[in-house]
Amino acid sequence: MTAMPKLLDSFTLALLSTVALASLLPCSGATAQAFNLITNLAIGLLFFLHGAKLSREAVIAGAGHWRLHLTVLACTFALFPLLGVLLRPLLTPLVTPELYLGILYLCMLPSTVQSSIAFTSMAQGNVPAAICSATASNLLGIFITPLLVGWLVVSHGGAAQGMGSALDIVYQLLLPFIAGQIARRWIGLWVDKRKALLKYVDQGSILLVVYTAFSAAVIGGLWRQTPVSALLGLLVVNGILLGLLLAITTLAGRKLGFNREDQITILFCGSKKSLASGVPMAKVLFAGHAIGAIVLPLMLFHQIQLMVCAMLAQRFRRQHLRQSRMQEKSPLA
């Protein structure tokens, strides 16, 4: 009985409501363009505020945390593809060969950027390290993903979208963060006193990403192009993959001796896959092929990871708040 309120907190209910809204009233045309613009502005504001919140010393420490970054990259570009290949005989009967091709493709994609950092922030993890790891994963994925696809999936590949994707990351994420770092000397104290503001920007940006991404999936025929049995099987396969990665990244963070904040960062950055990078890459890597079945597993995985990671982030946040209250009371005990 006590677990139910934790699973159905206000943010999780907001996520469920957002998915339902996108399924019933997906945005399209000019409305979709407006929502995409608002989403991009919210993400830019998120990274600006993170830049203004973090001290220069914390950013440098995050960039120099090479053990954490190597762990995240190994999970993203080595462990994930290996599991996809090894589990193929076991999981293919649950879907179709075409859909499992999409599963293999999603296993080779880079991590998300904005949601990984937002969830790490919500969970009170190592945000500077998350920014560095997630951004590095996306930049390296522009080159690593086509190589993996060419090696393990098809005999041809390319990265014509690579430079554009890299510039998008720079413009939308890195530049606002740098601007926030520069502005910290003037607004740093103001931001430090308004931590709730960063929380609402975190959660608001995630809800916007969920709505726009799920709207595009619904309009693209998400519920029409796949039989119910294959869709259920795909949900199971995605759940198995995500569950394995969450368990392995959690175990790796503990066994490798990382502290709690770093473990949270490894969990969220090492177990997620980027829809924003995956869809444009698929258009290039699988040019001339029907990519609906290829991107459908990624679309569903994207939604599942957002829902599951949102609940995990809220759980970690509550644990952090409880520990903080206990530490505040202990001197008086």
Q: How far apart are the C-alpha atoms of 225 and 214, rounded to whole Å? A: 15
Q: Which amino acid is at 23?
A: S
**Phi then psi for 291, rounded to 5 degrees?**
-95, 5
End-to-end CA distance of the chain: 31
Q: How confident is the model at residue 74 (pLDDT cuts 50, 70, 90)?
A: very high
| Average pLDDT over all residues of the chain | 81
Cβ 247 vs Cβ 54: under 8 Å: no
Cβ 129 vs Cβ 66: under 8 Å: no
Q: How confident is the model at residue 75 (pLDDT cuts 50, 70, 90)?
A: very high
Q: How far apart are the C-alpha atoms of 72 and 78, rounded to whole Å? A: 10
| pLDDT tens by residue, 234-285 | 999 999 999 999 999 999 999 999 999 999 999 999 999 987 677 767 767 7
Q: Looking at residues 189-210, what average pLDDT do you find?
A: 79
What CA–CA distances, in Å, run from 259 to 50, 72, 122, 330? 21, 15, 17, 22
Percent of all residues in the chain with a pLDDT value above 70, rounded to a whole number: 86
Q: Looking at per-residue confidence, does 181 or 217 come out higher?
A: 181
Cβ 181 vs Cβ 54: under 8 Å: yes
Q: How far apart are the C-alpha atoms of 23 and 29, rounded to whole Å? A: 16
Q: How confident is the model at residue 194 (pLDDT cuts 50, 70, 90)?
A: confident
Domain annotation for the chain: domains and CATH numbers: 39-318 (1.20.1530.20)
- Widest CA span of the chain, in angstroms? 69
Give Cα 243 distance to the centre of its chain.
15
What CA–CA distances, in Å, run from 65 to 49, 59, 70, 113? 22, 10, 9, 17
Does residue 1 have a pLDDT over 70? no
